Amino acid sequence: MDKQVNKKVTVTCGTKFHSDYTASQLQKHHLLEKVITSHPSKKYLNRVAIQKNRIKFLAPIFVPAYLLSRIFSGSNFLVKWLDNHMPLLFDKLAAKNLKKSSIILAWAWSALESIKTIKKMGE
């Protein structure tokens, strides 16, 4: 007979990228541990109903790059620098906020430190 294993998933995504829909489905099936995001809370919860206590909202670090890209063209040095470095910063912030979890679902552009942290927790 198969033993029922209680697996929980932590979702980390600096912005939305449909992570809200994914987290909503995980919550519906009682599999969501936590969501960690830098997306502004009002914009993150506007499409789905996720329990707020399941979401850790970090500082909205992607907003300056977004605003600057609207003012300057995408070829602006500062916009490119922010686009390349903000995912790395988010990953470090997310890794510091991780709790023990069975599974981590992270977007590749901002996951290396989070994966290393979750792996150490499982050892």
Stretch 15-44: mean pLDDT: 90
Residue 34 has pLDDT above 80, yes or no: yes
Using CA atoms, how far residue 32 sits from 6, 13, 37, 102, 115, in Å, is: 11, 14, 14, 10, 17
Dump pLDDT digits (tens) for 38-62.
988 888 888 888 999 999 999 999 9
Report whether 26 contacts 20 (CB < 8 A): no
Q: Which of 57, 63, 66 is nearest to 11 (CA)?
A: 57
Residues linked to residue 36 through DSSP beta bridges, in sequence order: 12, 56
Q: Which helix (H) or strand (E) holds 13?
A: strand 9-13
Stretch 64-78: mean pLDDT: 83
- Domains detected in the chain: 9-122 (3.40.50)
